[in-house]
């Protein structure tokens, strides 16, 4: 049961371009130069009903552009997409009424009126029958603990409270496809966790298909078994999260804070088994294969004046970087040329 089919989706923006300074500004009056910027390049994938897919990539990779095309906000330059049987950018009302795009940095609720009034407006827009509206609102209120917030104007809410309200507002019409663009950005850890478990729960209960972008690995780990990675608009990886993590987060970073940094380079290189090493003002950090983590850490603890030692997974950005650096990991058929 395919919910989303994307076939060689391509988006190029035309942006004006000029050098800085007055001369260039005057020049641009006469002759305007533009540049083609490729945001999404021939991306293809399919997502089934009920799937939660992490959509990853560094800033500017083309994630948001892709989501906007799938939500019907942007027209692609070329390529096809079908979501719930519709072509999104034809913007049929029946399609818009069955999907939601939630952008962490974008306000969809009305700023000056109580949250509940915005919800009532959504009820009218999405033509939700009273009984359904009430039962969904009750459910969302309970799950996201909104009781105290419903009667406050949106402008009086904290960022986290607002995000909860935004999410609830976008789910009142029970969308079958949910696009979440950085839903936890700027939120504290507890709120991030709550939103994560809520999304998982929503997916479980309704069987809705969820596509999620996030810079927080924890979001992706908690929610997505599958991830799609894009970089410079190109699809680089499409597969299980465990595959991705296993393959590319095969290293860990050991960061050591030292009492005094007297060890010399040769000594340190021996201690860490020749793995890449960085010195900082307070100590060193070294990236080692997972299997060697314990051994190297033990050696460091035994032989250096260690104040503190931390073992970390590499951050998601660097995992993506590694996917990008490893061309053999590209699934066949997804490789793109030209553009």
Is 93 a binding residue for another protein by CB under 8 A? The answer is: yes
> Candidates 204-212, 224-232, 286-294, 298-306 — which segment interacts with another protein by CB under 8 A?
204-212
DSSP 315: P
Backbone angles phi, psi at 257, to 5 degrees: -100, 130
What does the block give as tokens for 223?
């929610």
Is 126 a binding residue for another protein by CB under 8 A? The answer is: yes
Is 70 a binding residue for another protein by CB under 8 A? The answer is: no
CA distance 229 to 236: 5
DSSP 154: G
Is 185 a binding residue for another protein by CB under 8 A? The answer is: no
Is 91 a binding residue for another protein by CB under 8 A? The answer is: yes
Is 79 a binding residue for another protein by CB under 8 A? The answer is: no
Closer to another protein by CB, 97 or 318: give it. Answer: 97
For another protein, which residue of 24, 135, 186, 207 counts as binding (CB under 8 A)?
207
Site string for another protein, 142-181 (x = CB under 8 A): --------------------------------x-xx----
**Number of chain positions touching another protein (CB under 8 A):** 50
Closest residue by Cα to residue 4 from 91, 87, 97? 87
Is 101 a binding residue for another protein by CB under 8 A? The answer is: yes
What does the block give as tokens for 117?
């009034």
CB of 252 to another protein, least distance (A): 37
Closer to another protein by CB, 48 or 325: give it. Answer: 48
Closest residue by Cα to residue 214 from 128, 125, 102? 102
CB of 209 to another protein, least distance (A): 8
Is 134 a binding residue for another protein by CB under 8 A? The answer is: no
CB 65 within 8 A of CB 6: no
Q: Give every CB contact of residue 267 below 8 A, 6+ residues apart in sequence.
A: none
CB of 50 to another protein, least distance (A): 8
Is 75 a binding residue for another protein by CB under 8 A? The answer is: yes
CB of 107 to another protein, least distance (A): 7
Site string for another protein, 271-300 (x = CB under 8 A): ------------------------------
Closest residue by Cα to residue 238 from 336, 329, 338, 337? 329
Distance set, CA 305 to CA 118, 255, 256 (Å): 59, 13, 10
Cβ neighbours of 235 (radius 10 Å): 25
Distance set, CA 287 to CA 207, 263, 278, 292, 320 (Å): 40, 18, 9, 10, 16
What does the block give as tokens for 71?
């939500």
CB of 199 to another protein, least distance (A): 16
Is 107 a binding residue for another protein by CB under 8 A? The answer is: yes
Is 139 a binding residue for another protein by CB under 8 A? The answer is: no
What does the block give as tokens for 242?
């465990």
Distance set, CA 43 to CA 213, 218, 228, 231 (Å): 16, 25, 10, 11
Is 73 a binding residue for another protein by CB under 8 A? The answer is: yes
Closer to another protein by CB, 68 or 196: give it. Answer: 68
CB 43 within 8 A of CB 229: no
Q: Which residue has the tokens 């793109």?
A: 336
Site string for another protein, 11-50 (x = CB under 8 A): --x-x---------------------------------xx
Give just the sign of the alpha carbon dihedral 124, 200, 320, 229.
negative
Query: Which spans of this chain sit near another protein (rule: CB under 8 A)?
Result: 1, 3, 13, 15, 49-50, 68, 71-75, 84-85, 89, 91-94, 96-98, 100-101, 103, 106-108, 110, 112-113, 117-118, 120-121, 123-129, 132, 174, 176-177, 206-209
């Amino acid at each position: 049961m395919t919910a989303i089919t994307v076939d060689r989706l391509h988006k190029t923006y035309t942006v004006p371009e000029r050098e800085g300074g007055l001369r260039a500004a005057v020049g641009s009056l006469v002759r305007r130069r533009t540049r083609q910027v490729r945001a999404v390049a021939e991306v293809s994938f399919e997502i089934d009903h009920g799937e939660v897919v992490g959509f990853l990539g560094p800033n500017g990779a083309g994630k948001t552009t892709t989501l906007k095309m799938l939500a019907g906000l942007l027209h692609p330059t070329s390529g096809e997409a079908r979501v719930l049987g519709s072509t999104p950018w034809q913007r049929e009302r029946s399609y818009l009424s069955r999907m939601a795009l939630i952008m962490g940095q974008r306000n969809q609720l009305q700023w000056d009126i109580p949250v509940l009034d915005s919800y009532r407006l959504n009820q009218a827009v999405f033509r939700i029958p009273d009984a359904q509206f009430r039962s969904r609102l009750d459910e969302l209120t309970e799950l996201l603990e909104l009781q105290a917030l419903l009667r406050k104007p949106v402008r009086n809410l904290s960022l986290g409270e607002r995000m909860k309200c935004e999410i609830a507002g976008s789910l009142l019409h029970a969308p079958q496809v949910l696009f979440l663009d950085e839903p936890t950005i700027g939120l504290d850890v507890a709120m991030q966790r709550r939103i994560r478990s809520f999304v998982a729960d929503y997916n479980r209960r309704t069987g809705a298909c969820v596509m999620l972008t996030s810079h927080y690995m924890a979001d992706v780990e908690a929610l997505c078994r599958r991830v799609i990675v894009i970089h410079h608009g190109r699809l680089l990886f499409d597969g299980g999260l465990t595959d991705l993590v296993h393959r590319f987060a095969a290293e860990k970073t050991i960061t050591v804070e030292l009492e005094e940094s007297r060890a010399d380079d040769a000594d340190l290189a021996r201690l860490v088994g020749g793995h890449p090493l960085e010195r900082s003002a307070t100590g060193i950090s070294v990236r080692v294969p997972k299997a060697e983590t314990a051994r190297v850490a033990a050696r460091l603890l035994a032989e250096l004046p260690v104040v503190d030692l931390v073992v970390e997974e590499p951050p998601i950005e660097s995992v993506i970087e590694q996917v990008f650096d490893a061309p053999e990991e590209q699934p066949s058929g997804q490789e793109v040329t030209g553009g």
